């Protein structure tokens, strides 16, 4: 594939194109097929057409013949779960703020819908709108880095990774990062992206000002002095206008010491409150059908933890992967294409897990075996590593997948009411008693409250929120099998999460709401 950061989107009116968001699992860049980068996580803007303001489902078109339409652009999201066809005349790529303002004004006058789109990373393709889309990939300038006041001002099309690299030269970094850094800054903020840490809010909380191109008011500049409008605009999924510029707080660049280890479920439950206060960043990865919770903590490197850095895992990659490779050789033995040692050479963790699940992705007995092997992989992977913060807070999310993530309050930083562990107990009990083919992990993270009114983690200062994400992978290219997996995930699995979540007052992540 091509390194997406070196590509420019051409004139969309000259030919048809297929734009595919796809992560390269080996090096973390985003290659694109036929065309190029269209910046980050999307949002929903609809101007002048009341019926178009609702986010509509954009299911994967299994028999989409429109790719041959010379007047259309087809966009496929990273997970291959959604696609959309947009007439080239309604796919906008402004090259200046003035051009962006003109597009918004014209669409408003003509009653045309339009949504900002980025790299199409969102699992639910929140940015897809067949009636009209706008990419800010050409508006990616880093306008100013204020080292003294520790802020950065960027155009909304700048990628997170691009901003992090620019800040590195000034000894600064962003205060929070999600798992992937190829989002556009506009979408990064507008959907309320988050990392993990009981005392760290989602990224929108660190925005000090933004510029919003609106249909009725033109470009407006908002800060905290604008009160409720600013708090609405920070996480607005594009519904108030197109964000064109963002100023965000920064923090000093630093290294983190990451510790990965496995606890039993009972230990994870009893230790969570002390761990939340002890560690700057912490996440749990629960493994259904296994008494294993993978704990990953990250803390700034200092004299107190420098001594433990030598406790890095001494096992080779092959030794750590052995539970998975052994399982794949054993379970594929009776298929038409059994895996051999030669075939497994060079395969990464995500690829092997996909190959295992592809044998029978909806057979919960097989999924249990895969989860068992994964738990053993993590036990063999226990240890420490030290790297710059941005390199550790981002991680491989695996292959094509469905994801549903919810957020709910669990108390305060000083007084966790235990709703986080109660939710996991309820969820795992139902998964395992009903035999849902739930692969690992069920990821659990935490964040502080945010003042953004539309954020799932909105709340009073000092509040503690829990995020839980369930997943199902799409390891096959067979459309019938993909549909079966999708139906089970969106029906049985997501419905279960919603039912259990009622008493916890869950809210869905904007980019992961199906």
Question: What CATH number labels 142-252?
Answer: 3.30.465.10
Torsion on CA atoms 140, 143, 146, 151, rounded to nearest 10: -40
Query: Out of 188-192, 273-277, 440-444, which region has the weakest mean confidence (pLDDT)?
Result: 188-192
Residue 334: its pLDDT value, please?
A: 86
Q: How many angstroms separate the Cα of 484 from the Cα of each of 122, 267, 362, 476, 488?
A: 21, 36, 8, 11, 6
pLDDT digits (tens, 9 = 90+) for 221-235: 999 999 999 999 999
pLDDT in the model for residue 127: 66
Q: What pTM was computed for the model? A: 0.84
Q: 5 versus 122: which is more confidently predicted? A: 122
Domain boundaries defined on the chain: 15-135, 142-252, 255-512
Give the mean model confidence (pLDDT) for residues 467-473: 96
Contact between residue 428 and residue 286 where contact means Cβ atoms under 8 Å apart? yes
pLDDT at 207 over 70: yes
What is the structure's pLDDT at 304? 60
Return the closest-CA partner of residue 75 out of 29, 134, 27, 25: 134
CA 365 centroid distance within chain: 29
Q: What's the pLDDT at 19?
A: 53
Long-range contacts (CB closer than 8 Å, 24 or more residues apart) made by 298-304: 298/256, 298/257, 298/258, 298/259, 298/389, 298/392, 298/393, 299/256, 299/257, 300/254, 300/255, 300/256, 300/257, 301/254, 301/255, 301/256, 301/257, 301/386
Mean pLDDT computed over 333-349: 91
Burial bucket for residue 506 (CB in 10 Å: 0-12, 13-18, 19+): buried
What tokens does 397 get?
Answer: 């999310």
Q: What is the pLDDT of residue 71?
A: 87
d(CA 11, CA 417): 54
Structure token pair of residue 244: 């064109």
pLDDT tens, position by position, 208-218 = 999 999 999 99
Whether residue 486 is predicted with pLDDT greater than 90 in this model: the reply is yes
DSSP 22-77: ---TTT-----SSS----B-----B-S-GGG-S----B--TT--GGG-TTEEEEE-
- The DSSP letter of residue 439 is P
**What string of DSSP letters covers 163-207?**
HHHHHHTTTEE-S---S-S-SBHHHHHHTT-----TT---GGGGE
For the cut 80, the answer to whether the pLDDT of residue 39 exceeds it is no
Residue range 449-474: average pLDDT? 95
Nearest to 10 by CA among 117, 93, 127, 107: 93
The topology under which CATH files domain 255-512 is Vanillyl-alcohol Oxidase; Chain A, domain 3 (3.40.462)
What does the mean pLDDT of the chain come to?
A: 84
pLDDT in tens, 385-420: 999 998 888 766 677 889 999 999 999 999 999 999
C-beta separation of 453 from 228 below 8 A = yes
Tokens representing 384 are 């420490």
CA gap 104, 48 in Å, rounded: 10
- Provide the terminal-to-terminal Cα distance of the chain, rounded to the nearest Å: 29
Specify the pLDDT at position 332: 94
Mean pLDDT of all residues in 65-74: 64
Within 10 Å of residue 68's Cβ, how many Cβ atoms? 9
Q: How far apart are CA 347 and CA 503, in angstroms?
A: 42
Decide whether 142-252 matches 255-512 in CATH topology: no
Of 52-61, 247-256, 326-335, 358-367, where does mean pLDDT reach its minimum? 52-61
CA distance 205 to 508: 18
């Amino acid at each position: 594939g091509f390194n997406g950061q070196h590509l420019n989107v051409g004139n969309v009116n000259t030919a048809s194109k297929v734009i595919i968001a796809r992560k390269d699992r080996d090096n973390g860049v985003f290659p694109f097929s036929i065309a190029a980068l269209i910046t980050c996580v999307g949002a929903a803007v609809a101007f002048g057409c009341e019926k178009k303001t609702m986010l509509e489902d954009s299911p994967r078109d299994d028999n989409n013949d429109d790719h041959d339409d010379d007047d259309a652009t087809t966009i496929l999201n990273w997970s291959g779960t959604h696609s959309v066809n947009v007439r080239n005349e309604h796919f906008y790529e402004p090259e200046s703020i003035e051009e962006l303002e003109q597009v918004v004004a014209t669409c408003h006058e003509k009653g045309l819908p339009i949504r900002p789109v980025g790299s199409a990373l969102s699992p639910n393709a929140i940015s897809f709108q067949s009636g009209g889309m706008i990419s800010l990939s050409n508006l990616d300038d880093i306008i100013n880095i204020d080292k003294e006041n520790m802020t950065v001002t960027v155009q909304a099309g700048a990628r997170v990774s691009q901003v992090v690299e620019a800040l590195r030269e000034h000894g600064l970094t962003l205060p929070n990062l999600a798992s992937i850094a190829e989002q556009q800054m506009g979408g990064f903020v507008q959907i309320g992206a988050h990392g993990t840490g009981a005392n760290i809010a989602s990224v929108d909380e660190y925005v000090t000002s933004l510029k919003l191109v609106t249909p009725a008011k033109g470009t407006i500049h908002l800060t905290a002095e604008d009160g409720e409008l600013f708090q609405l605009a920070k996480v607005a999924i594009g519904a108030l206008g197109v964000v064109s510029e963002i100023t965000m707080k920064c923090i000093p660049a630093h290294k983190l010491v990451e510790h990965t280890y496995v606890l039993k479920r009972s230990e994870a439950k009893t230790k969570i409150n002390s761990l939340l206060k002890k560690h700057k960043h912490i996440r749990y990865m629960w493994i259904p059908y296994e008494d294993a919770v993978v704990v990953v903590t990250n803390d700034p490197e200092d004299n107190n933890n420098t001594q433990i850095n030598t406790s890095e895992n001494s096992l080779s990659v092959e030794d750590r992967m052995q539970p998975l490779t052994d399982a794949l050789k054993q379970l594929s033995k009776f298929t038409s294409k059994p895996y051999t040692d030669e075939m497994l050479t060079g395969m990464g963790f995500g690829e092997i897990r996909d190959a295992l699940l592809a044998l029978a992705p909806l057979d919960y007995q097989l999924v249990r075996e895969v989860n068992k092997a994964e738990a053993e992989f993590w036990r063999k992977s226990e240890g420490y590593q030290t790297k710059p913060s941005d390199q550790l807070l981002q991680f491989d999310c695996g292959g094509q997948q469905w994801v549903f993530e919810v957020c709910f309050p669990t108390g305060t930083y000083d007084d966790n009411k235990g709703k986080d562990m109660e939710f996991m107990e309820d969820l795992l009990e139902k998964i395992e008693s009903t035999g849902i083919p739930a692969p690992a992990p069920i990821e659990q993270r935490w964040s502080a409250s945010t003042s953004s009114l539309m954020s799932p983690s909105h709340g009073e200062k000092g509040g503690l929120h829990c995020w839980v994400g369930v997943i199902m992978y799409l390891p096959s290219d067979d459309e019938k099998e993909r549909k079966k997996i999708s139906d089970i995930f969106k029906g049985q699995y997501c419905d279960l999460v919603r039912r259990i979540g009622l008493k916890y007052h869950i809210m869905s992540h904007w980019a992961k709401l199906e």
